[in-house]
Chains A and B, each alone.
Chain A
Amino acid sequence: MTHRWDFSEIGESARLCADLLSPSGKSSPRPKVNQVRTVARPAPALAKLATLTRPATIPGPTMLLGNTRQDRLQASLTAMCERGGFLGAVVADASGLCLAAVTPPIAEEQLAAFSSMLGEAMVHAGNLFTSGMANNLSLDINYTDKLAVRRFLFGGVPFCLVVLCPQTCDERAEVELSVDELQRILAP
């Protein structure tokens, strides 16, 4: 048995929806898939890695002294970048306040705020998928470079360490060492 329904209300609804969604309307469009944004940018980290050598004078953890805690954080990040061949790094707290930054590729405040947002995204990912903590995020930002984000807690307060490095770089060990060091510096 076939039915012939009157769908005129759907047509009327469609016109009303189109009206509500018109440019002056404010509804957000349904996300489109396969929408790729092309970014024609050089990949500076890989080029820098090729020229890097490991000088004997790079300070180790015990050499990281300074008058203020910020000096020591800065020195620790600088040493980490030099040891690991990272292009830049930033450490920020959960609110996006930049504690220290080394050659940030964009304004350090922007990178710190972005780090804090990524840190929060990791918490959400942890809640959603594992009911636990997700503390590491690796984000390819072009064909050759990546951002590696390491979220860590100190005194129950979340912080984020973000490094920019080539995708071929195995940054984990260097980052873990630096997190230990950062926690020691942050300790009162």
Chain B
Amino acid sequence: MATIIAIASHKGGVGKTTTALNLGYGLTRLGAKVLLVDGDPQGGLANASNLKRRTQAGLVQLLTNDRRANEMVTYTRDQRMAVIGAGVVTTDDVLQFEELALAGQLAISIRELAHDFDYVLIDAPAGIGGVVRGLLLACDSVIVTLNPRPLAVKSLPSFLKLIKSMADSDNPGLRLEGVLVTMMNAKSQVDASVFAQLQAQLPGAAMFATHIPFNEAFEVASLHATPVALLPAAALAARPYLDLALELKARELKAQAEESADDSSLGLF
């Protein structure tokens, strides 16, 4: 069973889709099998991965047409990564998608899809509405993406309250994986100040040590509908997401070690 992680935030345009695609690719480089789920009716991930050139069908069709899950998942050239779109084509589909999310059907389907993968990364739509709540029902944890800008920071508490509310009621297994700072412009005084405040005030475990610097290579990569690591000469831009994948794995291994720790143990031998 995969670890299901939502990439989400209250504010739009903070790098959720970019993070889902590039973190997913980073995890495949570590040998993991990853499913990317486009949970946004706008279809950002389907566009970013060029899925729409292959198929328009997705979660809506999976739930309404009684299609088999493996028919709806499209594998990339690297067989370790697959994508499923939202399947929203018409305005009726949008309404249906929201209804399915609110009814918990979306969460059930995503959990069924997860069986064949090590990680499922869900690209959630911006906001704290019904679709996001429906998607968080399926998740084990949430990565909150955040630009180090005042307006983005203002929206952070409301999203954290949503996670807490979900963890307290509908999904007790839900936890905060961490806040990921994206599109960081180290030369900007505003970014530097906000980032410094985040580092100073947020608990260490709540914030990823890795942050994603702003880099135009991400724009170029989205034009080519590819993870940035597959662009020629984009190693510098790709590195932070590979670091993030490693940090995620390290956190996971540490958590596993802590769960299985036996204080009386004297080591392996």
Contact = CB atoms under 8 A, between A and B. Distances in A.
Contacts, number: 123
A32 to B, nearest CB: 9
Contact of A10 (B29, B31, B201, B209): B201
B112 to A, nearest CB: 23
Nearest to A25: B175
Interface in B134-166: 141, 150, 153-154, 156-157, 160-161, 163-164
B205 A30 contact: yes
Interface string B15-45: 0000000000000011100000000000000
B5 to A, nearest CB: 12
B193 A5 contact: yes
Nearest to A5: B150
A11 B201 contact: yes
Interface residues of B, number: 46
Contacts of B197: 7, 10
Given A26-B173, A41-B266, A3 B201 contact: no
Nearest to B258: A28
B123 interface: no
A29 B201 CA distance: 16
Given A5-B193, A28-B255, A16 B160 contact: yes
A52 interface: no
A17 B206 contact: yes
B254 A28 contact: yes
B29 A13 contact: no
B166 to A, nearest CB: 11
Interface string B171-202: 00101111100000000011001100110011
In the complex, the 7 A-B pairs of residues with the closest C-beta atoms, listed nearest first: A17-B206, A28-B255, A124-B31, A26-B175, A39-B267, A16-B160, A29-B205
